[in-house]
Structure 1
Amino acid sequence: MKNRFTLKSAMRVTFLAALCALSSITETLAQEEKQFNFSVALNSDQFFGFYPTFQGSYGFSEKTQFTFYGIHWGGGTAAAWGNWTEFGIGANFQAAEGLSINPQLGVLSGNLLSSGTRGPAIFGDGIVPNLTVNLLKEKIEGQFYYGYYAPIRDKAPSNGTTLAYTHYWLNLGFRASEFFSIGAHYEQLINSGGSNVETSTDVYQWLGPYVQFAKPGGGPFARFSFGTDLVEGNDSFFKLTTGFSF
């Protein structure tokens, strides 16, 4: 009887320990899920063509997260830019309720910056120091982005040039509900330098409204922006984005 009682006791203790461990693992996984966020999007406009993107974050605290992102520029027009791709990391800081600031540094691969598309596709085509500021309130949403695309290698032929670009946008909208929002979008791309570029020139200046539909509480979303191009000789612009936030 003594041995049988000892065996049963050991089995009971083992079972309780397993339950405790399972509970601890489940709680840890739940905490990890809350700390980790990820979203993917499919984008299309008349300059960059079709380009999938992803972005993610892992929270170290309620106000600070490690961030990472990637852009598959080579999916559209950029296929002619040596399958141009961008990958970067950074940190996101909650500056106030509904306001976050996210500085990041990206690395490019391809040949757009290092040779003006006239050289080999390489890793280290350029770097992209960039900043994103997000605003999300009950009735207001907005985003500001600024990035400088700088060549770090010169692979241009003797009669060619490296290229640098400044890219930024600003949008601000009214959230009529969690499902629907409407606002205005302004975006500019500037050819701002290069080994044989004497003066900067505007590639485009887009200005117009946007409409967005999103699943309340997170998940799938879709946004359509359209309007005029303020650069002389250009006409209009359109940008379509659809994606999913996990």
Structure 2
Amino acid sequence: MKNWLQFKPSGMRFPTALLCAFILSLNIAWAQEEKQFNFSVALNSDQFFGFYPTFQGSYGFSDKAALTFYGIHWGGGTGANWGNWTEFGIGANFQAGDGLSINPQIGFLGGNLLSSGTAGPAIFGDGIVPNLTVNLLKEKVEGQFYFGYYAPLRDEAPTTGTTLSYVHYWLNLGFRASQFFSFGAHYEHLINSGGSNVETSTDVYQWLGPYVQFSKPTGGPFARFSFGTDLVEGNDSFFKLTTGFSF
């Protein structure tokens, strides 16, 4: 049988050239896919939410816009008491220039924290989370603002129970001493903003303190530690540890 992949001094036979062109096009497409797709995972721990892994990803359609998605496994820590609380969401990220990006998203929850104040069954549709993240990353400055409103989608509370809603936001701003090390300040506030039998909103915590972060200069692993005081009367201090990897 004649070998149709045979090379000859005068050049390649047509099928061989076609195969090589196909492989080359696959490599180009793969390289473009890798450039457009970003993904990161993180392990987080603090004294309120406990241990909670997170992930986030994006697929860029242009230099200015990308589809985003994220997930939070709240059930890994304190959330285990909240019906294995789980959050998943999608949105879009827009580059606003000069190191600034704006990422509105909407998340959906499973569990029982919002729909029944942990008194009812764990369900899909426990709540909905419209949220906004604004990131700043420049040569010497970094920062992030997050705001999310956690509202119940269903009412599964017993007669004497209640649904719950929360406002959660934070702001951090830091100085990039190098591509390896940065430091700054972190402020975070969680408010029980109401519910079916909740008459007034209350502060759950209000954290303020410094942070330090270590990152691989070429991208990949990173670690951040935040700590400080809790401004809510009766509370003491806070600590938050995050380590992860960006692909």
Q: Same fold (TM over 0.5)?
A: yes
* Residues 158/31 of structure 1: CA separation in 2 closer, same or farther (3 Å cut): same
Match of 2:69 in 1: 68
Query: SS at the partner of 2:128?
Result: strand
- Note if 1:43 corresponds to 2:44: yes
Q: How does 1:1-246 map to 2 (within 5 A)?
A: 12-246=13-247
Q: TM-score, normalised by structure 1?
A: 0.96
* Residues 234/153 of structure 1: CA separation in 2 closer, same or farther (3 Å cut): same
Query: SS at the partner of 1:83?
Result: coil
Q: More helix per residue: 1 or 2?
A: 1
Provide Cα deviations, 1:10-63, integer angstroms capped at 9, x if missing partner: 971111111111111100000000000000000000000000000000000000
Query: SS at the partner of 1:147?
Result: strand
User: 1:134 Cα deviation (Å)?
Assistant: 0.2
Query: SS at the partner of 1:157?
Result: coil
Choose 213-222 or 8-17, whichever is displaced more.
8-17
Choose 112-121 or 14-23, whichever is displaced more.
14-23
Residues of 2 paired with 1:174 and 1:181: CA distance?
6
Query: SS at the partner of 2:48?
Result: coil
Residues of 1 paired with 2:7 and 2:126: CA distance?
67
Query: SS at the partner of 2:22?
Result: helix
Residues of 2 paired with 1:146 and 1:212: CA distance?
22
State the identity as a percent.
81
User: 1:101 Cα deviation (Å)?
Assistant: 0.1
User: 1:112 Cα deviation (Å)?
Assistant: 0.1
User: 1:217 Cα deviation (Å)?
Assistant: 1.7
Q: Which ranges in structure 2 are unaligned for 5 or more consecutive residues?
A: none
Count matched residues: 243
Provide Cα deviations, 1:153-180, integer angstroms capped at 9, x if missing partner: 0000000100000000000000000000
Query: SS at the partner of 1:70?
Result: strand
User: 1:97 Cα deviation (Å)?
Assistant: 2.4
Residues of 1 paired with 2:62 and 2:237: CA distance?
43
User: 1:152 Cα deviation (Å)?
Assistant: 1.1
Query: SS at the partner of 2:29?
Result: helix
* Residues 18/183 of structure 1: CA separation in 2 closer, same or farther (3 Å cut): same
| Equivalent residue letter for 1:241 | T
Residues of 1 paired with 2:20 and 2:100: CA distance?
41
User: 1:8 Cα deviation (Å)?
Assistant: 7.7
Q: TM-score, normalised by structure 2?
A: 0.96
| Equivalent residue letter for 2:125 | G
Residues of 1 paired with 2:27 and 2:64: CA distance?
24
Residues of 1 paired with 2:16 and 2:216: CA distance?
42
The 4+ residue runs of structure 1 with deviation greater than 2 A are: 7-11
Residues of 1 paired with 2:117 and 2:7: CA distance?
76
Alpha carbon RMSD of aligned pairs, Å? 1.7
